[in-house]
């Protein structure tokens, strides 16, 4: 048999777990290619090698040209490729999931499809933001009201801390420069935050569009999870940038500041843990669902009796019966005798 052409996929054992990866790297005005299992970025100053297997998200800004081999490597490595517009205020694509199991995806779909469990997850999300407040008896309308008051208070506190004047969140997605300096910095910080959260969600095998608080958008769950961290990451960074004496490039300075804040706070580890905690019915998701539960490359068959049935197995008997024609006990007895 002739070998399959092209570079071999990155072995699963060489991939870094999503919570242990670099948050993101931003590139612009360069050619992105592949050298073995590394992404290369080449411009007039030279070539830089980036280990794809340990990268969360690669943000591709204006003037970037990407080869097919580079995109293959990103997809195989479970890294998110994000095309961003000028000033980094838009993003689009993602790579293949790091997860080999669909457990988190199934848990997400199950919870979001039931009104009671969806409300429970939404309450848990707000509880993470409200610093220990009891949200168990609140409706979505009450939760939104409390969140609105909380965000206004945070903006006011950051304005007082930095001395940056604040009126309201005001930005035009079509005209980045039209907003005030702090609004420009907030847009850049939020975009970087969305990109990294999107990378974590996709790496875990979850669906970015199945949100619990947000709804109707392909990135609803991204917005849900990102909102958990805006008060600690995006908002203070944006006000710090706006308070600086002179900032030549608001987008670039903001991205670097967000990256440094994420690195110092072990952001990806926190994000992955929070997602698992929200979607799984356990206080410590690593107890019942250790890392191997999401890395196992196992295909099962669905059964309407609530069982998980192994794939790649013939369930017919020599006399022509199939499993549904016999009781499970009879079939198990026959299979034991046959083996």
The residue extents of the domains of the chain are: 12-88, 103-288, 300-338
- Residue 272's pLDDT is 87
Examine domains 12-88 and 103-288 and report if their fold is the same.
no
Partner residues linked to 301 by β-bridges: 309
Q: Which residues have CB under 8 Å from 89's CB, separation 6+?
A: 173, 176, 187, 188, 191, 251
DSSP secondary structure code for residue 46 in this structure: E
The predicted structure's pLDDT at residue 291: 43
Phi, psi of 22 (to 5 degrees): -65, 145
- Binding residue per annotation — 33? no
User: What's the topology of domain 12-88?
Assistant: Ribosomal Protein L15; Chain: K; domain 2 (3.100.10)
The confidence score (pLDDT) of residue 334 equals: 47
- Model pLDDT, residue 318: 57
H/E element, 201: helix 181-203
Check pLDDT > 80 for residue 187. yes
Q: What percent of the chain has pLDDT over 90?
A: 34
CA distance linking residue 97 with residue 203, whole number of Å: 4
Determine the average pLDDT of the residues in 8-33: 70
More confident residue, 252 or 30: 30
**pLDDT confidence of residue 133:** 84
Q: What is the pLDDT of residues 304-326, one digit of tens each?
A: 666 666 655 555 655 555 555 44
Does the structure show a pLDDT above 70 at 242? Answer: yes
What's the average model confidence in pLDDT over 163-188?
Answer: 81
- The partner residues of 186 in beta bridges, in order of sequence, read none
pLDDT at 62: 85
Strand order in the sheet with 55-60: 22-27, 55-60, 80-83
What DSSP line would sit under 267-305, residue for residue?
HHHHHHHHHHHHHSSSSSHHHHS-HHHHH----EEE-TT
pLDDT of residue 195: 85
Residue 227 assigned as binding residue: yes
147 is known to lie in a ligand binding site: yes
Please, which pLDDT band fits residue 53 given cuts at 50, 70 and 90?
confident
Q: Can you give the pTM of this predicted structure?
A: 0.67
Q: Which CATH class is domain 103-288?
A: mainly alpha
DSSP 8-state class, residue 175: B
Percent of the chain having pLDDT more than 70? 69
**For the segment 73-100, what is each residue's pLDDT rounded down to a tens digit?**
887 777 777 777 665 556 666 555 666 6
**From its phi and psi, is residue 264 left (phi > 0), alpha (psi between -120 and 50) or beta?**
alpha
- Residue 194, pLDDT > 70, answer yes
Report, as an integer, the average pLDDT of 245-258: 85
């Amino acid at each position: 048999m002739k070998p399959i052409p092209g570079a071999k996929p990155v072995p699963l054992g060489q991939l870094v777990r999503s919570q242990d990866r670099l948050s993101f790297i931003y590139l612009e005005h360069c050619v992105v290619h592949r050298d073995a299992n590394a992404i290369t970025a080449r411009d007039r100053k030279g070539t830089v090698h980036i280990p794809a297997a340990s990268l969360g998200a690669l943000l591709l800004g204006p003037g970037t040209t990407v080869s097919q081999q580079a995109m293959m490597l990103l997809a195989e490595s479970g890294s998110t490729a994000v095309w961003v517009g000028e000033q980094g205020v838009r993003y689009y694509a993602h790579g293949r999931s790091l997860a080999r199991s669909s457990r988190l995806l199934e848990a997400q779909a199950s919870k979001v499809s039931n009104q009671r469990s969806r409300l429970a997850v939404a309450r848990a999300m707000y509880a993470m933001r409200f610093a220990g407040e009891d949200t168990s008896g609140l409706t979505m309308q009450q939760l939104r009201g409390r969140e609105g008051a909380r965000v206004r208070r945070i903006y006011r506190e950051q304005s007082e801390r930095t001395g940056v004047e604040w009126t309201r969140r005001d930005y035009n997605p079509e005209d980045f420069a039209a907003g005030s300096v702090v609004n420009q910095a907030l847009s850049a910080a939020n975009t970087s935050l969305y990109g990294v959260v999107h990378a974590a969600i996709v790496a875990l095998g979850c669906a970015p569009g199945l949100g619990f608080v947000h709804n109707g958008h392909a990135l609803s769950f991204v917005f849900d999870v990102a909102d958990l961290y805006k008060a600690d990451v995006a908002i203070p960074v944006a006000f710090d940038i706006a308070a600086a004496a002179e900032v030549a490039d608001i987008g670039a300075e903001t991205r670097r500041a967000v990256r440094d804040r994420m690195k110092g706070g072990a952001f990806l580890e926190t994000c992955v843990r929070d997602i698992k905690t929200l979607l799984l019915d356990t206080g410590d998701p690593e107890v019942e669902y250790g890392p191997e539960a999401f890395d196992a490359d196992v295909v099962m068959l669905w059964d309407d009796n609530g069982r998980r049935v192994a794939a790649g197995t013939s369930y017919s008997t020599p006399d022509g019966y199939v499993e549904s024609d016999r009781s499970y006990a009879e079939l198990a007895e026959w299979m034991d005798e046959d083996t």
